[in-house]
Structure 1
C-alpha cells in the first residue's frame, strides 16, 4: 500500500466502508438514498472502473467487495476526489459476504470483471465461477436482476457460459456473448489482455 493509499484508507474508511458481519444486515441503509437499485461489484481491483461506472450511473448504488487493501485505499481516494456518494466498500472475501451479509433477493445486479483465471488446468477448481457460487448469486439476486461478467481468457469464458446454462434461474438474452455496455470503461486488465492478443468476452445474464 502506497503512503497515499494508506492515508486515504485511514481517513475515509469510516465514511465509505461497511464492516463485515457474520449475519445478514441492511446494506442499503449505508447509502444516502437506500431506495436506489443495489449493484455489487466483486473484486474491483484498484477501483478505477468502479468509480467511473458509479459516476456514469448515479441512479444506482454500488457496493464493492474486495480484500486487496491498496485497491481499497485507491478507490477511497477516487470516491472523495470525484464527490461520489453512491459507493460503499466491504473489505472481505466476496463469498463470505454473499453467504452471510447479503439478504435473499437483495441485489439488482452483480459485476465481475476479469476475475482471476487460474489458467493452469489443475487450478481451474479455484475459479470463482462454479455452480455453487452461481447458485448463491441466484439466491441473492432479485427477479429481473443481472450478472455482468468480463474475461479475456477464452476457456474461462466458455466455462462461464456452461455454468450459467446449467444453473436454473438465469436466461441469456443474447444466446452467447454480448457487446460491452456503453457505461463500462476499458480496464487495465482489458488493455493488458488486448496487448497479449486475448479477445475480450462479455456475458450478460438475467435472473428469472
Structure 2
C-alpha cells in the first residue's frame, strides 16, 4: 500500500471493512451476521435499506461514485486486493460516505455462505479479470454455476449488471446469462451503455485502443427462489 492507503486502512478498516475469514459464526465479526449465519446489513449500516453488492471493486473509483449517487441504498464492495481496498477507504473518507462497506475475500464464498437468497437489490461485476489465454478461461468469474449463484441471491426484480471491454468474454457473458432461467434480458442483448456508470480512465483508454465496453443488464425473474 501507499502511505496514504495505509493510513486510511489504519483509521477506518475496523469500522468500514471486514475479512471474510472473520465473518463466520463464532468469528471476530460474527456481530455482522444474522441467526442463520448470513450477513445482516442492518447490523453494519445501522438502518434497513436496499443492499447492492459489487464484486471486484478494484481501486474503487466507480464504487465510491455509485454509492455517492445513491445514498438511499447501502453498498458492499468485495475485493481481495488490499491496496485497492485502502484506496477505496480514502475515497470513502474524502466523500464522507456512510453507505459503503468493504469485504476482503473470495466473492463466490461470500455469495454462497454469507449472502441470503433473494436478498440483494442489485449485483454488479465490472471488468472482471479476463484471463485472456484460452487455457485459463475456466478461471473466469462468469461461469454458469456462478451466474446461477448470483441470480439466486437477487430478489425478484433486482438487477445483475455485468460489463467488460474484452469482446470474447462479453459474448460468453451473454451466452451464460441467456441460459440462466432466473434471469431475463429486457434489452434482448447488450444494453446501451448506462450514462450513470462512471467512465474511468481505463475505459477511455480501452476505447481509444479499439476495445469498447459492453454492458449486460439482467433482471431477476419472479419465482425460482434461491437456496
Q: One fold, TM greater than 0.5?
A: yes
Once structures 1 and 2 are overlaid, which stretch shifts more, 142-151 or 191-200? Answer: 191-200
1:182 CA drift (Å): 2.6
**Superposed, which structure 2 residues align to 1:106-125 within 5 Å?**
106-125=119-138
Shift of 1:150: 0.8
| 1:167 pairs with one of 157, 170, 180 | 180
Q: Which runs of 4+ in 1 moved over 6 A?
A: none
Does structure 1 residue 9 correspond to structure 2 residue 2? no
Structure 2 residue matching 1:85: 3-state secondary structure: coil
Map 1:1-208; keep pairs closer than 5 Å: 1-20=1-20, 21-22=23-24, 23-33=37-47, 35-208=48-221
Unaligned runs of 5+ in 2: 25-36, 222-227
Give the match's secondary structure for 1:18: strand
For 2:45 and 2:79, how far apart are their aligned partners in 1? 18
- Larger RCO (alpha carbons 8 Å, 6+ apart): 1
Query: TM-score if structure 2 supplies the norm length?
Result: 0.88
Q: Partner residue of 2:34? A: none
Asked if 2 retains the 8 angstrom alpha-carbon contact of 1:18 and 1:30, the reply is no
Alpha-carbon separation, structure 2, partners of 1:183 and 1:56:
9
Quick one: distance in 2 between partners of 1:54 and 1:112? 15
CA RMSD of aligned residues (A): 1.2
Cα distance between partner residues in 1 of 2:212 and 2:54 = 22
Segments of 5+ residues of structure 1 without an aligned counterpart are none
Report the TM-score, using the length of structure 1 for normalisation. Answer: 0.95
Report the CA distance between 1:25 and its aligned residue.
Answer: 2.9
In the alignment, the residues of structure 2 paired with residue 54 and residue 32 of structure 1 have an alpha-carbon distance, to the nearest angstrom, of: 16
